[in-house]
Structure 1
Amino acid sequence: MKYPILCCISLLGSLTAFTSSATTCPEILSSKQRLLNSTENIELCEAFQGKTLLVVNTASQCGYTSQFEELEELYQTYKDKGFTVIGFPSNDFRQDRGSEEQSAKVCYLDYGVTFPMMARSSLTGSSANPVFTQIQSQAGVKPKWNFYKFLINKQGKVVATFPSSTSPVSSTLKNAIEQQL
């Protein structure tokens, strides 16, 4: 009779561990997002919990659009160490006009982006993407232009912000990432 009791205790412990890990998702990752130019949705928590993230608001028709190349380089450098870049296209600054298909072409075909790109969304206001609502709540900063970069640690906290002019492969940004890995 001891075995069934031990089995139940073990199962109860496993369920408790599962429940507590499911409830520890950082609020910044507590949303489902649609991928760029796709019908596929991903649960941010499932995909990125426990990783160091660089969240970037992007635009396909901006003077900084060429940073996609450097963001991809950064992603390739650190992706096997628990890091990812996540792009969030936005037309808030009127530089991601046209269809999502056109934005996807710029990202995927013109610049060879392989890191996750979410569907176009707003960064501020009542229709703001929940990720950017959380960034603003935590850091007190909202993007002032396209290609603003927000470094988020493994616990889901914004630990650094970088303006559009900061190159993704700058030593300042790379050092900040390496401190979080």
Structure 2
Amino acid sequence: MKSMFRKLALGLSVALLPLATAAGQSEPEAASAPQASDSSKDCPAIFNHKMKKLHSSKILDVCEVTAGKPVLLVNTASHCGFTDQFGDLEALHKKYKDQGLVVLGVSSDSFDQEDEDEGKAAEICFKNFGVSFTMLSTVPVKGENAHPMFLEVARQDVAPRWNFYKYLVGSDGKIISSNSSFFMPDEDDIEALLN
């Protein structure tokens, strides 16, 4: 029902735009599209983006964050029954960061379980679970409106079907394996990816 009203409102605003412009009113600003990174031509498409850090005004170049290393990519939400996995992800980060694994969390409200207040979402992962790996600001992760990073995930593998889907991504940007919300990546797979 909510979706139907959004589509109706969008259709109405698009239909009225020419009238508003003709009446001398300016067009509304377009939502800012995700930006591609300019750090490297060799950056894999999956990471070739600039994204906002969670609860920060800092924009990160994801190519620089991943720096050609293997990545454990996960979509997160602060009010999900799987939120305690932040602790498991942090443990993997601490265990493997010196060997080159980058854990990259992406906040999402695609399943209606992320806090509307990004500060509260950040508090849950950073303070409650001690997360020190990179967390990116809330973006959609499924459907045609998904952030381009997750459109690439869906193209290569499967789009997240819930919060805390985990993807092991090689340094070349190819997804090696994926895990549903119920499972953490196998440490043998992580170690094979690092060797």
The AA in structure 1 aligned to 2:121 is: S
Q: TM-score, normalising length from structure 1? A: 0.83
Question: Which of 174, 178, 181 is matched with 2:191 structurally?
Answer: 178
Counterpart residue number, 1:78? 96
Question: Which of 15, 18, 25 is matched with 2:43 structurally?
Answer: 25
The AA in structure 1 aligned to 2:90 is: E
SS of equivalent to 1:95: coil
Across the aligned residues of Structure 1 and Structure 2, the Cα RMSD in angstroms comes to 1.3
Shift of 1:124: 1.9
1:67-94 per-position Cα deviation (integer Å, ceiling 9, x unaligned): 0001000000000111011111111111
2:142 and 2:74 mapped to 1: Cα distance?
A: 14
Q: TM-score, normalising length from structure 2? A: 0.77
**Residue 151 (structure 1) aligned with residue 168 (structure 2):** yes
Question: Which of 121, 124, 132 is matched with 1:103 structurally?
Answer: 121
**Residue 90 (structure 1) aligned with residue 99 (structure 2):** no
Q: How many residues align?
A: 156
2:67 and 2:148 mapped to 1: Cα distance?
A: 16
Answer whether contact 1:29 1:49 (CA < 8 A) is retained.
Answer: no
Please state which structure has a larger fraction of its residues in helix.
1
Answer whether contact 1:26 1:49 (CA < 8 A) is retained.
Answer: no
Does 1 or 2 have the higher relative contact order (CA < 8 Å, sep 6+)?
1
SS of equivalent to 1:86: strand
- Large movers: runs of 4+ above 4 Å: none
SS of equivalent to 2:176: strand
1:60 and 1:97 mapped to 2: Cα distance?
A: 6
2:70 and 2:163 mapped to 1: Cα distance?
A: 21
1:89 and 1:43 mapped to 2: Cα distance?
A: 16
1:119 and 1:35 mapped to 2: Cα distance?
A: 5
Percent identical residues: 38
Listed as ranges, the gaps of 5+ residues in structure 1 are: 1-20
1:158 and 1:97 mapped to 2: Cα distance?
A: 29
Counterpart residue number, 1:35? 53
Counterpart residue number, 1:58? 76
Answer whether contact 1:91 1:121 (CA < 8 A) is retained.
Answer: yes
Listed as ranges, the gaps of 5+ residues in structure 2 are: 1-38
1:132-172 per-position Cα deviation (integer Å, ceiling 9, x unaligned): 11111111x01111101011001111010001000x3xxx5
SS of equivalent to 2:115: coil
SS of equivalent to 2:178: strand
The AA in structure 1 aligned to 2:186 is: L
1:138 and 1:87 mapped to 2: Cα distance?
A: 19
Shift of 1:98: 2.3
